[in-house]
Amino acid sequence: MLSGVHILSRARNRSVWATTPQLSRRALSFISVAVGLAAWELIGRFLVANSLFLATPLQAVEALGNMWIGGELQRHIWSSTQEFVIGFLIGSASGIAIGLAIATSRNAAAIFNPWVAGLYSTPIVALAPLMILWFGIGIWSKVAVVISVVVFPVMVNTESGIRATSPHLIEVARSLCATRWQIFAKVSIPSAMPYILAGLRLGIGRGLIGVVIGEFFGARAGVGYLIVQSAEAFNMPAMFAGVIIFAAAGIGLTAAFQALEHWLLRWR
C-alpha cells in the first residue's frame, strides 16, 4: 500500500514538473516581448524623441487604429493575405512534389539539382523586378515572388527527410513483404514528416519576406506597399505599423504551425 502511494506521488510530481517548464517558457516569451516593447517605447520617447526617425509602439498602434477606422488598413491586409496564401500553398505543394521526385529518382535529381543549386543561391531581390515585368503589378507577380522563396526550403527539407529514412525500418518492411509503394507511403513519408513540416515552417517566414519584396517593387495595395508609401511620406508611425503587422503575422503563423506540428507528430 505504501509503495502504491509513493508511485502515485511520483507520477503526480512528474506531471507537475512537466507542466511547470511549459508555463515558465511561455512566461519568459511574454516577458521578453513586453520588455522589448517597453524599451522601444522609452527609447523612442526620451532618447530619440522624434517620430521622423523612430516611432514608438503606441504611436504605431494609434496609426493602426486610424487606418482601420478609415478602411485603408483592411484593403492592404487583404491584398497581402491573398498574395501570401496563394503563393505559400503553390510553393509548398511544388516543393514537396519536387523534393519527393529528387529523393526517389536519380533522373529527376539529375534534371532538378542544377536548377536548385543555381536558383536557390540567387537573391530574390534580383528576380523580383523580372516578376513585375513578366506578370505586371497585379497580385500574380507577388504570388510568383512568394512561390520562388517558399519552394526551395520545402524542397530541400523534403528531400533530406526522405533520404534520412532509417535503413533498418526499410529492411523490416521488406522482410514483411511490403511493396516499394508501401515502403514509400508507410515508412519513408512518416519518417520524413518532421523534415517536411520544418521546411513548411521556414517557408512561412520566407513567404512573408517575399510578399514585402514583391510589394516594394510594384503594387497598388498591400502592407509592403503601405510601408513604402509611408516611408516616402516620412510617416514613421504608419511605416512601423506595417512592420508590426508583418511581425505579428509571422509570430502568429509560426505559433499556429508549431501547434499543428505537435498535433500531427504526437506519435513522436
Cell, residue 188: 519513408
Structure confidence at residue 5 (pLDDT): 45
- Asked if residue 147 lies in contact with residue 207, where contact means CB atoms within 8 angstroms, the answer is no
Residue 51 confidence class, pLDDT cut points 50, 70, 90: low
Q: What is the structure's pLDDT at 22?
A: 63
CA 239, chain centre distance (Å): 22
* 48-67 average pLDDT score: 80
18 within some domain = no
27-41, 92-106, 221-235, range with the lowest pLDDT: 27-41
Does residue 225 form part of some domain?
yes
pLDDT band at 268; cut points 50, 70, 90: low
Burial 159-196 (b: 16+ CB within 10 A, else e): bbbbeebeeeebeebeeeebeeeebbeebbbebbbbbb
Is 146 within the bounds of a domain? Answer: yes
Query: Mean pLDDT of all residues in the chain?
Result: 81
Assess if residue 194 is contained within a domain: yes
26 vs 36: CA distance, rounded Å: 15
From the centroid of its chain, how far is CA 188? 24
**pLDDT tier at 267, thresholds 50, 70, 90:** low
- Looking at residue 209, which CATH number applies to its domain? 1.10.3720.10
Per-residue pLDDT band at 177 (split at 50, 70, 90): confident
User: Residue 252's domain spans which residues?
Assistant: 74-264
Task: Look at residue 183 and tell me whether its pLDDT is greater than 70.
Answer: yes
Give the residue with greater pLDDT, 35 vs 94: 94
Task: Give the residue-averaged pLDDT of 79-99.
Answer: 92
Q: How many domains would you assign to the chain?
A: 1
**DSSP designation for 55:** -
Q: Is residue 63 included in any domain, yes or no?
A: no
Quote the pTM value. Answer: 0.79
Mean pLDDT score, 202-219: 86
Q: Residues near 137 by Cβ (< 8 Å), separated by ≥ 6?
A: 218, 219, 220
Angle at 220 between CA 228 and CA 205, to 5 degrees: 60
198 belongs to a structural domain: yes
